[in-house]
Chains A and B, each alone.
Chain A
Amino acid sequence: MTELRHRGPGEDDVLKQQQQQQQQESEVRTDGEAPSDSEIKPDPGVPSTVDDTPEVLNKALSGMSSRWKNWWVRGILTLAMISFFFIIIYLGPMVLMMIVLCVQIKCFHEIIMIGYSVYHSYHLPWFRTLSWYFLLCVNYFFYGETVTDYFSALVQREEPLRILSKYHRFISFTLYLTGFCMFVLSLVKKHYRLQFYMFGWTHVTLLIVVTQSHLIIHNLFEGMIWFIVPISCVICNDIMAYMFGFFFGRTPLIKLSPKKTWEGFIGGFFATVVFGLLLSYVMAGWRYFVCPVEFNNDSNRFEVDCEPSDLFQLQDYTLPSVLQSLIGWETVRIYPFQIHSVALSAFASLIGPFGGFFASGFKRAFKIKDFANTIPGHGGIMDRFDCQYLMATFVNVYIGSFIRGPNPSRVMQQLLALRLDQQLHIFNTLRAHLIDKGLLSANQEATAA
């Protein structure tokens, strides 16, 4: 993984570099001068801006001016990240889940580090342990719910897993409560407010980062296309808006991000919608992307094989007369999914950027340039993923409301857990309801008790 391989010098080295920097700076600064707001005071113990560009790239680009060099570094890293994205898609759902987990942990780490540097709380007793502990608890809770939902047959077979899943909420709550009590017991006399701030900071970060990474995994299980198309649309929008802004940009969009322009915004919107249509057309033809990911109990592996649903079968649509006269075709064969992709692309280009503005506002509020320095030329992982988060939630809500409805398998599980006479009662009520609605003909069920 590009980002992880190029993490650069370890934390200890960074600390040393950092202290050297600080020494130099304090020599330059005259005594008694309070740090002004425009100066970012380096914090002992927190790694600060370090140039992470690998040696290889540095040598190759050493000839160019600084501005072009920056542009090239960004471009190469963009290509590297995109190719990495395609490689892990090829490797399959299991690897994807692992990567999502790694990204989540890195994002959490980045935001928590910012919190430490803002509040000088790096050496606060217990707090680092507690933050990671809470991350573990919340992840345990969410992964447990996912496992119970999607791996139900596996869970039923193994006895320890069954107990874990039956009392899952209780176990998760107990774990969380232990963390909560540890926090209360760790409150130290002079540091109350600091500790409460870090507690709040941790919880808001968990809310943003962890819940949405789990929504991404839910989308993934629905079908890889629901994972790939939204992420690609956001990436495409980023790139297209940048290009349009570069060539045509004149009117600024919002004070928060002075580099964004209306031309980039609108151009990016149209380009992304077109891109989304094309990409969904290409992907909807492959079962690998379209089928829900299922866990095969017999072979103990993930399987992506099924009969594609109606959404992914070519259908004829008659064009409205306006378009007919324009293009000269009467009907067009497209996948119904492509129509949904228009909604997804529209969201990615119109509302997705608000996630970016939120992150920009956050960076300005805390006077940091980037979330971290993991990716040379781009900043931290959070910098790349800030627009994705709203998108993941939107896709999940969209699937739940318009495509799938409430999860029928969970309802089925609950049904099967009831007593038999209760099941019979429900069966009869349901039958009456379905006959009422005309979905069942009455003579089919003549012999039901």
Chain B
Amino acid sequence: QDTDGDDRFGLGGEGDRDSKPDTDTPEVQPSVDNTPKCLNKALAGMSSRWKNWWIRGILTLTMISGFFLIIYMGPLPLMLMVHLAIQIKCFQEIITIGYRVYHSYELPWFRTLSWYFLLCVNYFFYGETVAENFGNLVQRDEPLQFLVRYHRFISFALYLSGFCMFVLSLVKKHYRLQFYMFAWTHVTLLIVVSQSHLVIQNLFEGLIWFIVPISTVICNDITAYICGFFFGRTPLIKLSPKKTWEGFIGGFFSTVLFGFIFAYLLAQYNYFVCPVEYSESNSFLIDCEPSDLFVLQDYTLPSVLQTVLRWKTVKLYPFQIHSIALSSFASLIGPFGGFFASGFKRAFKIKDFADTIPGHGGIMDRFDCQYLVATFVHVYLTSFIRGPNPSKVLQQVLVLQPEQQLSIFNTLKSHLTETGMIPPAIRGP
């Protein structure tokens, strides 16, 4: 009898109780075949296994082309919209699983509260992004300035209302259930929402910081699968019996190579390399002098490689060296995000997070490896690449109270005078 994971009062999950679809959770359907009819007809002749393989392949190609199409067409607002849509869908998938696990679909208030908390946290994060990156817009609009200055207070007040509503909604027989859903919602918010905002921060740093990590994770998925398919023998981890060491290592080397080449291709275009800025004329501007990271430089090869390749120096973008770090992380540590999701699915006895994408499962199934990578890229950027961004610092200064601006001005003036950047001024009274 599988009571593991049930708390001592017997509440905690499906256990072996239901292997049939629940009658009291009508909206959540077990695996539904979402494959569009046209595909079904076209593949009608093949055996079930090949058919599955073809559906997966076609959907993979569709998703990848969709990804590149959006980037190409990209006015940024479109990208942000898509990003927001993906985040909301992931949140919804995980919360739906929570409802099913705890049979809490009809719990009073709770659906409203979950979405309300999602709204609050998104409001908080988007507000911080706006304050940092859209300083021009904020300076011009009086109501926006007010919202930005008191942003934390407003977000906190919104969150607190949700918290108080939760406390007032506690119903006598459902306390534990409600606390579980509360915690489930918060952990989901922590994982899904915070990391999606890190993705946006990376994007504002330059589209290349958004594209290369995502592409390397996709590449690692595909090449590990292919290497495992052809060479796979030793299993990697008990959690995911289909993964093999050969796939893992083969995927690592191919991903590093892919990242290296892909970075070389992208680093040539200003469109990818420049930070995204919001200009005075109400539009996004991606134009700049590429930083040193994206200017070809000569590197002398170590003597070992010299004898092998018979070149003395090679012209590389410094960014390609960083891309090696990113690809290594994506192939060595990124899979742990996938194992975490596999463990989660086994723990709650679900096959896929949802059935949104035929052949692949839900959106979370595709994005599970991405999350750790997004955080890593952000931390990497702030630690190793980016010193403080001058325009951002300026925005922050302009948001301060006038007395503080004045004191900063004076400190800066004395500092600049000391270092000789401005001639000593005749200080007025």
Contact = CB atoms under 8 A, between A and B. Distances in A.
A446 B163 CA distance: 55
Nearest to B179: A365
13 contacts: A117-B8, A119-B7, A120-B8, A196-B344, A354-B163, A361-B178, A411-B393, A423-B416, A424-B416, A427-B409, A427-B422, A430-B408, A444-B427
B85 interface: no
Nearest to A170: B383
B9 A37 contact: yes
A416 B415 contact: yes
Ranked 8 nearest A-B pairs via Cβ = A193-B5, A192-B347, A365-B175, A444-B428, A401-B153, A414-B388, A193-B347, A170-B383
B7 A118 contact: yes
Interface stretch (A132-140, A154-162, A392-400): A392-400
Contacts of B372: 177, 180
Interface in B236-288: 237-239
A433 B398 contact: yes
Interface string A391-425: 00110011011100110100110111110111111
Contacts of B346: 192
Contacts of A167: 383
A401 B393 contact: no
Interface stretch (B27-35, B106-114, B182-190, B294-302): B182-190
B50 interface: no
Contacts of B383: 166-167, 169-170
B174 to A, nearest CB: 9
A256 interface: yes
Contacts of A397: 152-153, 156
A222 to B, nearest CB: 15
A273 B99 CA distance: 43
Contact of A427 (B179, B340, B413): B413
Contacts of A357: 167, 170
A418 B390 CA distance: 7
B379 A207 contact: no
A431 B409 contact: yes
B381 to A, nearest CB: 10
Contacts of A255: 172
Interface in B378-401: 379-380, 382-384, 387-388, 390, 393-394, 396-401
A19 B4 CA distance: 23
A189 B342 CA distance: 12
Given A424-B422, A446-B426, A408 B400 contact: yes
A415 B421 contact: no
A448 B400 contact: no
A339 interface: no
A177 B329 CA distance: 11
Interface in A116-164: 117-120
Contact of B394 (A365, A402, A429): A429
Nearest to A117: B8
Interface of A: 37, 41, 43, 117-120, 166-167, 169-170, 173, 177, 180-181, 183-185, 187, 189-197, 200-201, 203-204, 207, 254-256, 351, 354, 357-358, 361-362, 364-367, 390, 393-394, 397-398, 400-402, 405-406, 408, 411-412, 414-418, 420-427, 429-431, 433-434, 437, 439-441, 443-449
Given A193-B12, A411-B393, A447-B423, A434 B343 contact: no
Nearest to A35: B8
B238 A189 contact: yes
B19 to A, nearest CB: 16
A366 B176 contact: yes
B348 interface: yes
Interface string B158-171: 00100110111010
A388 to B, nearest CB: 15
Chain B residues touching A, majority SS: helix
A417 B167 CA distance: 46
A37 B173 CA distance: 12
Contacts of A406: 396, 399-400
A12 to B, nearest CB: 23
B415 A402 contact: no
Given A119-B7, A200-B184, A411-B393, A434 B406 contact: yes
Nearest to A191: B4
B394 A426 contact: yes
A415 B393 contact: yes
Given A401-B152, A430-B409, A193 B390 contact: no
Given A204-B183, A354-B164, A415 B408 contact: yes
B40 interface: no
A393 B155 CA distance: 12
A173 B380 CA distance: 10
Contact of A184 (B13, B178, B339, B376): B339
B60 interface: no
Contact of A201 (B150, B183, B376, B408): B183
A317 B149 CA distance: 27
A55 to B, nearest CB: 33
B407 A365 contact: no
B95 to A, nearest CB: 14
Nearest to B399: A406
Nearest to B189: A207
Nearest to B387: A417
